[in-house]
């Protein structure tokens, strides 16, 4: 008895977590998927009726705005964060004496809650007393910077705050990548008189493809899940101009009481996340098994 117990103890220890993951991750996904094919409104119904919720979703102008915003925000957020992150990493990699201190400063936003970030930028971007007023006081009386309350531009304020939060982290990833490039090759190129810029564009950056891929995955994942930042910065407004899929889902679930719409939008989000992450994880796991 006791030897049977000892033999199976590892499995017994892992079992509760396994059951919890199956139930609370995969079971819940299945539940949400199921409900997304029903007529559920305020209360969940369980009779499958087909794609009616998805039809409603794609007919909804608000969802249209949310998806558009996700593309605008995701594209700019990823592109600018990567660009800034790479630039800073390269500059920091030039034997800067106070590198440690600078790194600490560039990376601290990552420790903050997005609600804090949103609150700070909401105050700085507010047109009456914020940065607009600062520029005006410098003598540029006609300067306007009202993106926060302008429905056509409000989504770009989310980009500004998002980039501020995440670009330091991308810098850290790239810096680690730069340092792992084979120093012998770089030295050889220097001896041959290859100019520094050429060394970066022709040797170092091309060899960092995996780091670019990691940074892309992390940022894309952050972008799709973005919720807190929008809530704190714009509240999804003006109107619903800065809605993202995550805020759409939340509104449907908890203020509109439209469970069907909440479920179908959540499933779409999951499909988008998995279409980015699954190929990456799959290749990572396969590479590991090959070794």
Applying the rule CB under 8 A, the residues between 67 and 106 that interact with another protein are: 84, 88, 91-92, 94, 96, 102, 104-106
Say how far apart CA 126 and CA 93 lie, in whole Å: 36
Say how far apart CA 151 and CA 237 lie, in whole Å: 7
Q: 171 near 218, Cβ under 8 Å?
A: no
Q: Over the Cα atoms of the chain, what is R_g? A: 24
Please classify residue 132 by burial: count the beta carbons closer than 10 Å to its beta carbon, then call 0-12 exposed, 13-18 middle and 19+ buried. buried
CB of 256 to another protein, least distance (A): 13
Residue 228: CA count within 13 A, CB half-sphere? 12
Say how far apart CA 129 and CA 131 lie, in whole Å: 7
Binding range to another protein, per CB under 8 A, among 53-61, 73-81, 123-131, 179-187: 123-131
- Among positions 79, 131, 149, 189, the unique one binding another protein when judged by CB under 8 A: 131
Binding range to another protein, per CB under 8 A, among 143-151, 179-187, 201-209, 280-288: 280-288
Please classify residue 182 by burial: count the beta carbons closer than 10 Å to its beta carbon, then call 0-12 exposed, 13-18 middle and 19+ buried. exposed
Residue 279: CA count within 13 A, CB half-sphere? 7
Q: Does 228 bind another protein (CB under 8 A)?
A: yes
- Among positions 29, 48, 49, 185, the unique one binding another protein when judged by CB under 8 A: 29
Write out the binding residues for another protein, residues 248-267 only, by CB under 8 A: 249-250, 253-254, 259, 262-263, 265-267
Write out the binding residues for another protein, residues 231-250 only, by CB under 8 A: 231-232, 235, 245-246, 249-250
CB of 149 to another protein, least distance (A): 14
CB of 21 to another protein, least distance (A): 5
Q: Does 48 bind another protein (CB under 8 A)?
A: no
In sequence order, the 6+-apart residues with CB closer than 8 A to the CB of 62 are 240, 243, 248
Write out the binding residues for another protein, residues 183-212 only, by CB under 8 A: none
Binding range to another protein, per CB under 8 A, among 49-57, 126-134, 149-157, 183-191: 126-134
Q: Does 172 bind another protein (CB under 8 A)?
A: yes
Q: Does 35 bind another protein (CB under 8 A)?
A: yes
Say how far apart CA 112 and CA 107 lie, in whole Å: 10
Binding range to another protein, per CB under 8 A, among 60-68, 111-119, 139-147, 201-209: 111-119
CB of 197 to another protein, least distance (A): 12
């Amino acid at each position: 008895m006791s030897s049977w117990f000892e033999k199976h103890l590892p499995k017994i220890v892992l079992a509760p977590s396994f059951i919890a993951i199956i139930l609370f991750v995969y079971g819940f996904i299945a539940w949400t998927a199921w409900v997304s094919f029903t007529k559920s409104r305020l209360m969940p119904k369980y009779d499958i009726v087909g794609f009616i919720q998805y039809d409603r979703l794609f007919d909804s102008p608000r969802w249209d705005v949310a998806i558009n915003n996700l593309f605008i925000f995701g594209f700019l957020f990823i592109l600018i964060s990567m660009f800034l992150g790479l630039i800073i990493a390269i500059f920091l990699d030039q034997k800067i004496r106070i590198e440690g201190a600078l790194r600490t400063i560039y990376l601290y936003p990552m420790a903050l809650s997005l609600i804090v970030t949103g609150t700070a930028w909401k105050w700085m971007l507010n047109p009456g007393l914020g940065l607009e007023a600062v520029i005006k006081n410098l003598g540029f009386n006609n300067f306007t910077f009202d993106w926060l309350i302008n429905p056509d531009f409000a989504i770009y304020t989310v980009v500004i705050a998002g980039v501020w939060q995440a670009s330091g982290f991308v810098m850290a990833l790239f810096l680690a990548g730069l340092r792992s490039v084979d120093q012998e090759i770089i030295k050889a190129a220097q001896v041959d008189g290859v100019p520094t810029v050429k060394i970066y564009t022709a040797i170092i950056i091309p060899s960092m493809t995996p780091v670019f891929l990691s940074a892309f995955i992390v940022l894309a994942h952050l972008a799709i899940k973005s919720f807190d930042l929008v809530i704190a910065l714009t509240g999804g407004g003006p109107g619903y101009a800065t809605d993202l899929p995550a805020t759409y889902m939340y509104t449907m679930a908890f203020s509109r009481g439209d469970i069907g719409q909440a479920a179908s939008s959540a499933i779409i989000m999951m499909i988008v996340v998995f279409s980015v992450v699954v190929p990456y994880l799959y290749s990572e796991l396969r590479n590991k098994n090959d070794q």
